[in-house]
Every structure is written in structure tokens, then in C-alpha cells.
Structure 1
Amino acid sequence: MPLEIVTLPCLSDNYAFLIHAPGSGLTALVDAPESTAIEAELDRRGWSLDQIWLTHHHWDHVDGVEALRSRFGATVVGAAADAHRLPKLDLEVREGTVFSLSREDVQVIDVPGHTVGHIAYYLPQSHAVFTADSLMALGCGRLFEGSPEQMWASLNKLAALPEDTIVYSGHEYTQANGRFAETIEPENAALKKRIADISETRAAGRPTVPSELALEKATNPFLRAKEPEIQANLGMTGKAPVDVFAEIRARKD
């Protein structure tokens, strides 16, 4: 049976994700911005919590861990490189680590840039990747610790996944990201349509996360630094894509 994935709003603009395997009854959580909303959703659905997968150390992704661990006894998974500043890990993972939820493989991808220890979780069978603050809907995370070179490499690694992969990112920033994207590539028809769709979605009170990777590649300026139109708009025709990416990230900042 396919996994059930629930997008769960937390705090003011964060998302956590519950991943439930109906066959086994096992449930995982990607990031724990808070415990209250997560516990309420688990209770509403009658699910327990077996695993917590952490993407990075920032407080708004880990603050609920201890309360959830205390109640459910969940196994906490996170990057070995960041074990010193994450909640206590039961399973330390790194690039290439594969573990499982029920009968489905979970692949760990290193995606430094936002932080140097940021990781993503890829479930090839479910065509899903949990990217938190690396690749985001119409954006990417600020470079609080990493370099433009690191983030550009991370984004290209994620962009190489199959185009039907669904991207589950960590925040509801999509409307603001769309306004910025239009300043970088104002003639992109796919972007214009996406911005209109986002406005409709938000007006209805629905999340804009997740999104399809193919749509990100067609509209997200942080993935499109190689595009001649963007390079021309920035006055950077022929420049190295990583330098174009750095300029786009600096303008967003």
C-alpha cells in the first residue's frame, strides 16, 4: 500500500510532514517545529509516532523533538555531522545512508548551504523528497552557514532526481518567493501561471507545499541560473552558473 503523506502547518509558517505506512501502521515525522500541532494531528488520526527525521539543527525544525520522544519513544534520525547540535540521535546518517520505513527505502542526501549539515530524505518508491530549507517552493534557503558553491551543488543534486518527484519543503514562503522570481525572469509564462495559481491556493487557505520538481525546474530562479534569459536579465551573460546563482541569492537577501 502506498505511503500516506500529510502536510502539517506548524508555528507561523513552518511545515512538518507525517508519513504513514498503512500496511504496517508505522509513522514517521519530518522535522518537529513544535509538539502541540503534531500530537493533535497524530491523535486525530489515531497514529503513533515511530521515527523523527531531522533535516537540520535550526530551532524551528527541532523544538518539538523531546516532547514527542518522551510521549511516543520515537527513534530520532539526523546528520552525523551535526550530531553535536541536534537533539540526541538514535540513528546518525550521512550521504548514501539508506534506512527504511516499513518496506520503503529512505535515502539520505547531503544538501549543505542553508546550514553545513543540512540533509534531505528521498523516497524513490513514493517519488518524494523532503528538502526543508534547501530546495524550497520557488526558492532556496538563505546561506546562513554554507557557501554559494555548496548550495548550488546541493540544488543541482536535487534537480537531478526524476522530474515527477514531489518536493516537500519546510516553509510557506511561496507567495513572496513568486514575487521575487518575477523580478528575475519576468517573461517566464510558466512562472506567471504559477504565481496566479499560488494566489488562488493561498486565498483558499491551502498550502502551496508540496510542489513537483518539474515545476520547480521550470519556474524557480535558483534552479535556473544557467538559463540565457536570466543571465541576460542580470547582465551576466556567459558567466558561470554558480556566480549567477550567487547574484540571485544576494538579490533575494
Structure 2
Amino acid sequence: MRDGQKAALNLANWHHFMDALKLAGYRSEKMISSGTTIIFSYVLYLIGLRDYGVDRVTMRQTIAEFFFMATLTGRYTNSPETRFESDLSLIRDLPDGTAFLARLRALCTTTLTGDFWTITLPSQLATSASRSPSLFAYQAALIKLDANALYSPLKISAMVDPAVKGTKAALEQHHLFPRGYLEETGINDLKQINQIANFAAVEWPANIKIGKKPPADYVPPLDHAMSADERDRLYGWHALP
């Protein structure tokens, strides 16, 4: 018990584990929708290090993958203790570290199936929830892709850096079809206005400048300022047609 407590409170272990979250693309606490998922992932990280002798670098990569899966799917949101006990039962008494890593990756593979990506996730994205795990996972993916904010030379990863703080968030979610514009056209349902698909990551000055202009007005000048390759890459990152 004391040895386990010592390992859990070891700052070197904790900071290296936190690097796994960054490796998964989660660079800001504002992107975390479940603190429980962090704690349970840390437990698995320590089990890999202490009980199965997995080296730190390999363990960090595997936990990064597992954390992404667990937070995206809300694995430990409902009845978290019961679910975690079930997961623990799957990793007990394995022969070695290789088997342990394989079991964790198998959990990811059997959860993030083809049907998840083509059916479950699209349905989860049809939401106006501002703290949706699927939205945070998308933002994490943009960070992993080293993507720029929409119509910006700045990387999203730099804009969410927790070391940089100001009176206003550097990164904001911009309505592609602004709320004011939609309301003028008769669309007043906030569930429609605030759909995840109607948001893109932008710098806050750009968000203010766009105001309630429709895309037909604000997009052409921004497009003309980029090369065709830059525009295609930007549209790919931000899932624009």
C-alpha cells in the first residue's frame, strides 16, 4: 500500500503521465470533460510501469491512445467505478508487459470500431453542448495535425497553451453562419444555431471582425488572401466543403 501511494504521489510519474494527455492532443484543462478519466488512466499508467515493467515512453504512448478513446466515448462517465473494475479485471494476471499493452490497445480497437466512426460519432456531433467530448476530441485532433485556426497563421496548439493567459481567450469558437445572421433569416432555435458543425476555431479578433456577416460576405476576401494549397489544407482541417 505504501509503495503504491509513493508511486502515485511521485511527481515524476505524474508529470510524465500528463505528457501523455498532451501527446493525445489535450493541451488545456478546458478540453477535459471528465476528471475521472484522468485518474483512472493514471492508475493504468502506474500498473503498466510498476506491475508489468513497461518502459515509460511506450507506456506514455499507449495511455495517450487509451485516454483519447476513453474521453471521446465517455467510458467512465456513467457508473465509472463499475466500468473501471470491469477494465481492471481484463488486465489482471497477464503474463508480461507486451500482453498488458496489447490488452489496452484491444480495448481501444473494440470500442472505436468502424461503426463508431461512421454512425455513433456523427450522431454525437449533432449537439449544441458546449462541453461535448466529441468536440474536444476534434480539437485535440486538430492539435495533433498541427492545424492553424481558421483563416489564421497561428497554430491551435499555441493558442491553447496553458502557459499563455490573457483577459480574453486567444482561441474562440466562431459561428460559421453567425447567430445574428441566422436570426435575421428566421432561425432562432439555439440548438440549431449552436450545432458543433456550425463552429470553427478562430482568433478572437477575427471573430469580432466577422460579426454577423454571412459567409457569402466574409469568406471571399479571406479566401483570396491564401494560395489554393493553403485554402485546401485549411478547409480539410476544419471540415469545410
Greater C-alpha radius of gyration? 2
- In the superposition, the TM-score normalised over structure 1's length comes to 0.31
- In the superposition, the TM-score normalised over structure 2's length comes to 0.32
Higher strand share: 1
Higher helix share: 2
Which of structures 1 and 2 has the larger relative contact order (alpha carbons within 8 angstroms, sep 6+)?
Answer: 2
